[in-house]
Amino acid sequence: MYKLTRIPDKIYYVGVNDRQKALFENLWPLPYGVSYNSYLIADDKTALVDTVDICYSDLFFKRISEILNGRPLDYLIVNHMEPDHAGSIRLLRELYPQVQIVGNAKTFGMLEGYHGVISGLHEAKEGDVLDLGHHKLTFYTAPMVHWPEVMFTYDTTEKVLFSADAFGTFGTLDGAVLDSDMDTSLYWSEMERYYSNIVGKYGSPVQRALQKLSGVEIKTICSTHGPVWREQIDRAVSVYDRFSRYEGEHGVVIAYGSMYGNTEQMAEAIASELGANGIRNIVMHNVSRSHASYVLRDIFKYKGVIIGSPTYSNSLFPEISSLLSKIEIREVKNRLFGCFGSFTWSGAAVRNLNAFCEKMKWEPVGMPVEEKQALKEEKYQACLALGKAMADRLNGIG
């Protein structure tokens, strides 16, 4: 049997944990798994908020059936059509053919495209209210957080925000659902990684959504991934607010590629001088070992970015080139940038890194350093100078 978790009275958690999937979206590592959250409101009328990945539909349907106990399911509210949340819709419709599917016009286009569903639809426009009896649900559109059809559902009775993917995080729910019942320390870095990789490009839409909700009293946030936020709402919102503003913290990310260790020696020299000049938050990523999702998280988190690459086939080291593409796609703004590189017979890496900085409209800091073959004293000192220049800029010196 299923142990029921009430969010407040009459709102039940019916989500599932995925401990099997290795890569989210076949891209991003899931060392702690991921949850797919769904919520059932059992009022005079019943409403399910989102579904789960189709792989877990059997377990999901058993949980719903246990709570309904023979009652009909009146509404399915679709806040987000991504398959990890909407994958079970067609099967749910077969089990509950009378259910009305609540969404917006963009939702309905995706319902037809993914599931062939074109009937039994209830359109929810901005500010519309759905009366379930005790619970009154209001709908807010949140386009491009992070798909165009996204909307939030707000229960005005219990002050619960069903926020789709917003305020979500990687990581399964290991025994508890509410943040008040668990140690949440694991989830904060995973929330930052989730935001950076999944939502990252859409800072402006996130800011518009936050502004829309600024006058709404929220006592509970029910996201589609990770804990239900009650005690730590302010902290969860602050992560999304800070990251969507691209407000980097005081610190530096050094991301580098190195084939034979020469470029890595340059990275070590730069890091040592950053530390010697008072920079406490220094994160180093060898891109051949660090998955890009962690590098992106840290680039969203910290203000200073220093990237190093050897020249590879008259271009950048392939993993550095891939990383730059991912940063560019996410349109990360307002970073301080330094670069360095090495080559054996013809240098191209630093030229390409400088072009990247210009394209991103980041602020260049210090003099770029490029060494031919092994690191020698002159370029070692130049690496120290680059580290000091970045530290001084972050510390407001000069």
Question: pLDDT by residue (tens digit) across 261-311?
Answer: 999 999 999 999 999 999 999 999 999 999 999 999 999 999 999 999 999
The closest of 244, 356, 374, 237 to 307, measured between CA atoms, is 356
Question: pLDDT by residue (tens digit) across 96-128?
Answer: 999 999 999 999 999 999 999 999 999 999 999
The closest of 98, 76, 79, 102 to 89, measured between CA atoms, is 76
Question: pLDDT by residue (tens digit) across 186-229?
Answer: 999 999 999 999 999 999 999 999 999 999 999 999 999 999 99
When pLDDT is cut at 50, 70 and 90, the band that residue 2 belongs to is low
User: Residues 258, 270: contact at Cβ < 8 Å?
Assistant: no
User: Residues 15, 43: contact at Cβ < 8 Å?
Assistant: no
Task: Give the per-residue pLDDT at 1.
Answer: 57
Give the torsion through C-alpha atoms of 128, 132, 134, 136, to 10 deg: -10
Rounded to whole angstroms, the Cα distance separating 258 from 278 reads: 26
Question: pLDDT by residue (tens digit) across 166-177?
Answer: 999 999 999 999
What type of residue is 364?
P
State both tokens at 89: 């819709």
Rounded to whole angstroms, the Cα distance separating 370 from 291 reads: 25
Rounded to whole angstroms, the Cα distance separating 378 from 153 reads: 61
Task: Give the per-residue pLDDT at 4.
Answer: 78
The average confidence (pLDDT) of the chain is 97
The closest of 56, 70, 51, 73 to 20, measured between CA atoms, is 56
Question: pLDDT by residue (tens digit) across 128-171?
Answer: 999 999 999 999 999 999 999 999 999 999 999 999 999 999 99
The arithmetic mean of pLDDT across residues 25-31, rounded, is 97
Rounded to whole angstroms, the Cα distance separating 265 from 259 reads: 11
The closest of 81, 92, 147, 139 to 120, measured between CA atoms, is 92
Check pLDDT > 80 for residue 393: yes
State both tokens at 397: 């010196």
Q: Quick check: pTM over 0.85?
A: yes
User: Residues 315, 348: contact at Cβ < 8 Å?
Assistant: yes
Rounded to whole angstroms, the Cα distance separating 158 from 220 reads: 8
Question: pLDDT by residue (tens digit) across 317-330?
Answer: 999 999 999 999 99
Task: Give the per-residue pLDDT at 5.
Answer: 87
What are residue 118's phi and psi, to 5 degrees? -135, 0
Three-state DSSP class for 88? coil
User: Residues 31, 293: contact at Cβ < 8 Å?
Assistant: no
